[in-house]
Amino acid sequence: MPKISIVVPCYNEQDSLPLFYSETKAILPGTDCDYEFLFVDDGSADETLAVLRQLAGQDSRVTYLSFSRNFGKEAAIYAGLCNADGDYVAVMDADLQDPPSLLPQMIALLESGDYDNVATRRRNRKGEPPIRSWFARRFYQLINRISDTDMVDGARDFRLMRREMAEAIVSMSEYNRFSKGIFSWVGFRTCWLSYDNVERAAGETKWSFWKLLKYAVDGIINFSQAPLSIASWGGMLMTLVSFLMLIIIIVRRLIFGDPVAGWASTICVIIFIGGLQLFCLGVMGQYIAKTYMETKHRPHFIIAETNRSDTRRIR
Ligand code: UDP
Ligand code: MG
């Protein structure tokens, strides 16, 4: 009987966790798989850890890792995948936005042998602010144009994968993690399931608009070098244009003897080019900053407490 490890990143999810646990627990015995929960408490400030301790006390299938502080969802997923030892590994949010009712179908698809992982996407963005949906769509259009890695619009982190794929993901030990890109980068045979957007069961989302925007920029920088090329091509183009303008001005001065005029427009051009240069420097700076963080080789997470015996606490 194959075993499934269900990795659940949790950050301030005291209200959703009991709902998630009971709903998922009701579905799993219907499948012919053994299972374990692997909750990752991402440094929650509420009673999440207490809830996890209590669940673990009453159910030996519940295991948890608790971080020493908030390291972010990406780190929580990474910690879960590092420690999951099932034949299949699932990643699910704690807020029931990833419907556990899909699990039996996902398991059946893996068992059929045709796929290595089953991924999910939202068919629509019902219940989401329209402006957020609009930006999300633009983001996917842009990143698919400038990155070699395919990113599916509406893709969730909700996945069921074979161990081999989980190991491949763990082997990508980069510090700046963008799961949507990493899942796609490692390849393997993927089956996509679509479902209607579900609103969060309890608590509230941890993603403000600005956090999402920053996440999108991180995604672009992590999976594309296009901004760097755009900066250098743009620079070349501007050099060419200014060279042509120089020739025109010299010729005009020699033939027509125009006096030098247009102080205001000169200042405008100088400011424009100065701004452009700063912008391109900033783009370069973003890549350098990422490289800097990577070269430090800091741990992705630090586990302060766990009820698993074979855990790597720092990685
Ligand atoms: N999460 C986490 N660490 C964080 C932020 C979020 O582990 O710093 C978890 C959170 O508990 C939830 C999942 O990531 O299980 C998705 O978060 P959320 O529901 O806030 O995001 P949304 O569904 O709105 O994109
Ligand atoms: Mg959510």
Q: Which of 95, 98, 300 to mutate to test the pocket of ligand 1 (most atoms within 8 A of CB)?
A: 95
pLDDT in the model for residue 269: 84
User: What's the DSSP call for residue 297?
Assistant: T
Residue-wise pLDDT tens digits, 54-108: 999 898 889 999 999 999 899 999 999 999 988 999 999 998 888 898 999 899 9
Q: Which ligand is nearest to the CA of 211?
A: 1
Pairing of strands 117-122, 303-306: unpaired
Which residue, by CA, sits nearest to atom 3 of ligand 1? 73
Our answer on whether the CB atom of 307 is closer than 6 Å to any ligand 1 atom is no
Our answer on whether the CB atom of 11 is closer than 6 Å to any ligand 1 atom is yes
pLDDT tens for the chain, residues 1 to 315: 889 999 999 999 888 999 999 989 888 887 888 899 999 999 999 999 999 999 998 988 899 999 999 998 999 999 999 999 889 999 999 988 888 989 998 999 988 888 999 999 888 777 778 888 888 888 888 888 888 888 888 888 899 999 999 999 999 988 888 888 899 899 899 999 888 877 777 777 778 888 888 888 888 888 888 888 888 888 888 888 888 888 888 888 888 877 667 777 788 788 888 888 888 888 889 899 989 989 998 999 999 888 888 787 788
pTM of the model: 0.83
Q: Provide the H-helix boundaries in 147-300.
A: 163-171, 179-185, 209-223, 226-256, 263-296
Q: Report the alpha-carbon angle 173-312-16, nearest 5.
A: 85
In Å, how far from its chain's centre is CA 248?
50
Our answer on whether the CB atom of 17 is closer than 6 Å to any ligand 1 atom is no
Q: Which residue has the tokens 């599916």?
A: 152
pLDDT in the model for residue 259: 67
Atom of ligand 1 nearest to the CA of 94: 15
SS3 58: helix
- Spatial distance between the Cα atoms of 178 and 143, rounded to a whole number of angstroms: 13
Which residue, by CA, sits nearest to atom 24 of ligand 1? 205
- For residues 91 and 155, the answer to whether their CB atoms sit within 8 Å is no
Our answer on whether the CB atom of 201 is closer than 6 Å to any ligand 1 atom is no
Cα of 95 from ligand 2 centre, angstroms: 6
- For residues 228 and 283, the answer to whether their CB atoms sit within 8 Å is yes
Our answer on whether the CB atom of 106 is closer than 6 Å to any ligand 1 atom is no
Q: Which residue has the tokens 């502080």?
A: 69
- Spatial distance between the Cα atoms of 301 and 72, rounded to a whole number of angstroms: 9
- The token pair at 27 is 């579905």
Which residue, by CA, sits nearest to atom 21 of ligand 1? 205
Q: Which ligand is nearest to the CA of 97?
A: 2
- For residues 190 and 117, the answer to whether their CB atoms sit within 8 Å is yes
- Spatial distance between the Cα atoms of 198 and 68, rounded to a whole number of angstroms: 31
Atom of ligand 1 nearest to the CA of 40: 7
Which residue, by CA, sits nearest to atom 12 of ligand 1? 93
